[in-house]
Amino acid sequence: MNIERLIEISQDLGLINEAEQLKLIKQRSDEQECELIMPLVGEFSSGKTTLINALLDSTYKLETARKETTATLFEIHFGCDKCEAEVIYNNGSKKTTERFDELRNEELKDSLVVNVCDTSNRVSSSIILVDTPGLSSKIAEHRQVLIDFLPKADAILLVMDINAQLTRTLTDFIATMELAKRPVFLVITHCDTKTAQAIEETKQRLAQECKLPLKQVVSVSSTKGETQEFVSLLASVQLEKRVILEQVNQQRVKNITSAMIRHIDEMLAASHSDKELKDAIQAKELELRKISNTINRMVNNAQNSIEEEQTRICRQFEDTVFTRLDYIVSSKSDNYNAEAVAAINNLASINLNEFKTNVSRILMEQSQQRSNTDLDLQSIQSVDLSQLNVSGLSFNLDLNSIGHEHDGVIATGVKVVGTVAAVAAVVATAGAAAPAAGAAAAGEAAAVGEAAAGGAAALTTGEMAVGAAGVIDTVSDIGSMISNARTASRVEKAMVLAQEAGNQYQNVNNINQAIGQQTGQKKGFIEGMVGFVTDKTWGKPQRRRAIHNYIDESLMPEFRQAMTRNCGQVVAAVRSLLQSAAEVTVAEKKLALEGLVQQFENEKDAFNKRMSEIRDYKNELLTQ
């Protein structure tokens, strides 16, 4: 049966989508120079764009470090009259530029596709290479772009870094999309890091490990311009283009024919009588309920797996954040608070991304396990995980001050003791220089000197004998005061001593700050020494206790709550997508049956004739 006949049957059966697909297949089959669509599919940063750049003539290259912020497809056309790119946006507007390097993330967020035209003849003009979003992207829109586009591919270029492992994400996705029957070519990139022998061994290993039937395995080093194997591969594909297209189109027609036969079987099964038709409609309603039960089971299975992953991630986060914070508070730092907050946010982000990756895997496994149902289960693979977050984790500690609450008081005490030592030296010198002083005055001076010396006994470092030159200059003044003690009042002596003590304290403080600056400290030398001692004695133990309490009482309850919310969002999205898919599937079947009921009631003869036509259609399709 030719495609024209299949188009007629599909249109008569009201299968509009199938008819449009058949028309497109016919159009491509009739074209003498039909273009071959070959997408490059691989993990993020596998080297797809770098490989394309190595084939272009344009001096302006495509951005190779594109972040996961755009789902735009890049269609690369070779053998063009000039180098230029046309960006087609969602609203239908277009933009043309010769500067490929201007096609950056922020410019492409609202675009559908970028048509890149280049004058290079390294690749045939009838082969279109398509640069697709990274398969490992966590953004649902990117995965949906691949789901929508890959069925249009005629052959697959599977791209992977030689330094990476062949991931299940890559092979399972293609198998799920039923693309294994298309020609699949494996392109190994970044081969400049390996010897020729290592490259050949990797080719053989990957060919054995890959679950897909590979047509050919080639290696490239795009950064060094070593793309000969890849160019030769595309040249051989060009020679076999008609054969490849014929095989792919045959498979596409076969899939469409099978779908048409299933549709006819459902119509014939319910065509025996008016009552049977109505019963069939009721059966469809029962089918909807059964599908709903199936959906509930799928959702529950997914929920259990996702909750287990949530529990594992919470335990992992608790272990890693405890280890990291314990290391931070046990080490030397100028700002414990900043380091702790950065570590918490970083570890939360890492664990959340791991959660998203594993949830994507769980959803893919769920869709594969139920692939024999009538539901479109591919949709649950595109659940939007980009909205999941663990932001807003509070940090209510001041680690910088813990254990150092009394540092200021201790440092002041040390400086006061140093001041007393200096004044004691002055008074003792004055007493020795005034032998003619009265016994009372001499005894008074000796008492003051003895008390001051006692206070200084604990300080033995040179910096504690602060302002020695200033002390000597005041000796004569103090000696004069003491020699005239009988005529001076006690108040005057006290004021003189207080002034001298104040001068010496200032000297202590100035020297303290100067030494601190010379040793690279942000505070005085004495404060630094006190802080060092108190940190070792009180700071570290108190910070560790504070961190333990913070993790147990604040951080982990908040993190678990955020992950529970994330889990609930995913489960709700899965339930909604599956329910919508079920309702669409059953509604289409009910609508077709209701049309037959109406026709049967109005024109029984026409109904019988129609059923006969439908049976003939089935016989034709079975001989296809």
pLDDT at 299: 82
Higher pLDDT, 208 or 173: 208
When the pLDDT of each residue in the chain is averaged and rounded to a whole number, the result is 74
Interval 27-53: pLDDT, tens: 877 776 778 899 998 887 788 888 999
The pLDDT of residue 315 is above 90: yes
- Label residue 611 exposed, middle or buried (CB < 10 Å: 0-12, 13-18, 19+): middle
Interval 347-392: pLDDT, tens: 999 999 889 888 888 887 776 666 556 565 666 667 778 888 887 7
Reported as a pLDDT band with limits 50, 70 and 90, residue 407 is: very low
pLDDT at 564: 93
CATH number of 3-256: 3.40.50.300
What average pLDDT does the segment 227-232 reach?
90
Q: Distance between CA 428 and CA 358 in Å, rounded? A: 80
Reported as a pLDDT band with limits 50, 70 and 90, residue 497 is: low
Reported as a pLDDT band with limits 50, 70 and 90, residue 336 is: confident
Q: What b/e readout covers 158-169, taking b as 16+ CB neighbours within 10 angstroms?
A: bbbbbebebeee
Q: Which two tokens stand for residue 453?
A: 């010396």
- In 9-133, DSSP assigns E strands to 36-42, 73-77, 84-89, 94-97, 111-117, 127-131
pLDDT at 320: 93
Asked if 421 and 456 count as a contact pair (C-beta separation under 8 A), the reply is: yes
What average pLDDT does the segment 68-92 reach?
83
Asked if 574 and 382 count as a contact pair (C-beta separation under 8 A), the reply is: no
pLDDT at 491: 44
Is the backbone of residue 418 left (phi > 0), alpha (psi -120 to 50) or beta? Answer: alpha
Interval 550-586: pLDDT, tens: 899 889 999 999 999 999 998 888 888 877 777 776 7
Higher pLDDT, 48 or 72: 48
Higher pLDDT, 283 or 157: 157
Q: 3-class DSSP state for residue 504?
A: helix
Tell me which long-range contacts 427-433 makes (C-beta under 8 A, separation of at least 24): 427/452, 427/478, 427/497, 428/452, 428/453, 429/471, 429/472, 429/475, 429/478, 430/475, 430/478, 430/479, 430/481, 430/482, 431/482, 433/475, 433/476, 433/479
**226 φ, ψ (degrees, to nearest 5):** -90, 85
Pairing of strands 94-97, 84-89: antiparallel
Reported as a pLDDT band with limits 50, 70 and 90, residue 123 is: very high
What average pLDDT does the segment 503-527 reach?
54
Pairing of strands 214-219, 184-189: parallel
Q: Distance between CA 299 and CA 52 in Å, rounded? A: 41
Asked if 569 and 387 count as a contact pair (C-beta separation under 8 A), the reply is: yes
pLDDT at 111: 81
Q: Which two tokens stand for residue 266?
A: 């459902």
Q: Looking at the DSSP assignment, which residues form a beta bridge with residue 130?
A: 39, 75
Q: What angle do CA 126, 97, 114 make, to 5 degrees?
A: 50
**87 φ, ψ (degrees, to nearest 5):** -95, 125
The pLDDT of residue 533 is above 60: no
Task: Give the dihedral sign, CA 160/165/171/174.
Answer: negative
- Residue 594's H or E segment, with its range, is helix 556-602
Domain with CATH 3.40.50.300 in the chain: 3-256
Longest CA pairwise span in the chain (Å): 149
Asked if 150 and 41 count as a contact pair (C-beta separation under 8 A), the reply is: yes
The pLDDT of residue 116 is above 90: yes
Interval 289-299: pLDDT, tens: 777 777 788 88
Pairing of strands 36-42, 84-89: unpaired
pTM greater than 0.85: no
Asked if 353 and 408 count as a contact pair (C-beta separation under 8 A), the reply is: no
The pLDDT of residue 313 is above 90: yes
Q: Which of 7-11, 277-281, 510-514, 516-520 has the highest mean pLDDT?
A: 7-11
Q: What DSSP state is assigned to residue 75?
A: E
Of 129-133, 537-541, 581-585, the poorest mean pLDDT is in 537-541
Q: Distance between CA 413 and CA 530 in Å, rounded? A: 11
Tell me which long-range contacts 443-449 makes (C-beta under 8 A, separation of at least 24): 444/482, 444/485, 445/482, 448/424, 448/497, 449/424
pLDDT over 90 percentage in the chain: 12
Pairing of strands 84-89, 111-117: antiparallel
Reported as a pLDDT band with limits 50, 70 and 90, residue 451 is: very low
